[in-house]
A and B are shown apart, each in its own frame.
Chain A
């Protein structure tokens, strides 16, 4: 590969997704996000 370092951001998304996911879980568990009205939760519920 010409420059393997250019591939790194894709790999780091793994950790980023864990962080974002756990942060959302924490906010929901604390009750913060569950109180937000439409359009966040109206669709798909």
Chain B
């Protein structure tokens, strides 16, 4: 069998597998909610993001144990499922609300991205990490995890193993945060809006942001998603500025300055779909029944994305570079968590944006 044929078959088998496991998540979710309801617990403590990730992790172990993980890998498309889910979710959001929350999110993103980026950069320099790894890590932790790591890697010509390493760190850190942050937010009594802004400003992968928001409530899920997308929109600007810095300062080749087209190339285009669907819903083009169906479908897509987080997780890459990058990344995450809480509380709580 040729390699391309194997990839196509792997894609189909992988997609069918994700679909079947998502159905299983649905069945488990219904059964567990019924079990709790039968015991007088109306709020199911095991919401579907947790079930999906857990099932994904079990399937991941089985696939790796039977050496079939690499074969089905092409069908495990976390980013695709998540972005489709976000585009569909917009059917339930008014465009004016998105603009209002987006403005607050952008303000929060500007504060967080600059502070966390330079803190990570400073810390990584103190720990003597290579400049390319520093740039990839600073972008990943300050903007939006995997996508930002890839954009930064392209801008500074980082090694593939550096990107793989940071990607593994991002996912390993995001999973516990997805579970812990809603729990902490509930313990300190945050409103859904402030909690959503906190999740969106801190957790690095968008899938885990949506997962944390879902665990906290519908409003938290929407705010977290919009705030995260506002942050994601800055990827292009960061990639452009980084490329400029590396060409002029690190490699000292000012004649090879990058073009500003990078800003558009790196812009997350799914945000355009998100805004368009919200406009269609806000102007009444989509009926009430269509909106209900689209919201249900977005949850299916999210369930597939959460499942894929568990399916994708790999910790093998983490041993490759020693403890120093891990220490930098975790310290930057703690800094980001504290700062994001303060920023969310001020911008979405005190200022009421």
Contact = CB atoms under 8 A, between A and B. Distances in A.
Interface of A: 1-4, 6-7, 10-11, 13-18, 20-22, 24-25, 28-29, 33-34, 39-41, 43-45
A25 B223 CA distance: 22
A21 B88 contact: yes
A44 B296 contact: yes
Given A21-B83, A21-B277, A1 B293 contact: no
Contacts of A1: 153-154, 157-160, 163
16 contacts: A1-B159, A7-B154, A11-B265, A17-B84, A17-B86, A17-B270, A17-B273, A18-B87, A29-B280, A29-B286, A34-B293, A40-B297, A43-B300, A44-B48, A44-B296, A45-B296
A29 B292 CA distance: 11
Interface string B25-44: 01001100000000000000
A14 B83 contact: yes
B79 interface: yes
Contacts of B276: 22
Contact of B150 (A11, A22, A28, A34): A11
Interface string B147-188: 100100110011110010000000000000000000000000
B97 interface: no
Interface in B248-296: 265-266, 268-270, 272-273, 276-277, 280, 285-287, 289-290, 292-294, 296
A2 B154 CA distance: 10
B232 to A, nearest CB: 10
A40 B292 CA distance: 13
B150 A29 contact: no
A42 to B, nearest CB: 8
Contacts of A20: 80, 84, 87
- Choose among A4, A15, A21, A40 the residue with the greatest number of B CB atoms under 10 Å from its CB: A21
A18 to B, nearest CB: 4
A10 B79 contact: yes
A22 B87 contact: yes
Given A13-B79, A41-B293, A25 B286 contact: yes
A34 B48 CA distance: 23
Nearest to B25: A43
A13 B83 CA distance: 8
Interface string B4-45: 000000000000000000010010011000000000000000
A36 to B, nearest CB: 9
Contacts of A6: 160
Nearest to B291: A28
Nearest to B276: A22
Given A10-B147, A34-B289, A44-B26, 9 more contacts: A11-B266, A13-B79, A15-B269, A17-B273, A21-B273, A24-B84, A24-B297, A25-B286, A44-B48
A4 B79 CA distance: 19
A4 B154 contact: yes
A30 to B, nearest CB: 9
A4 B243 CA distance: 14
Contacts of A21: 83-84, 87-88, 270, 273, 277
A20 B163 CA distance: 28
A7 B268 contact: no
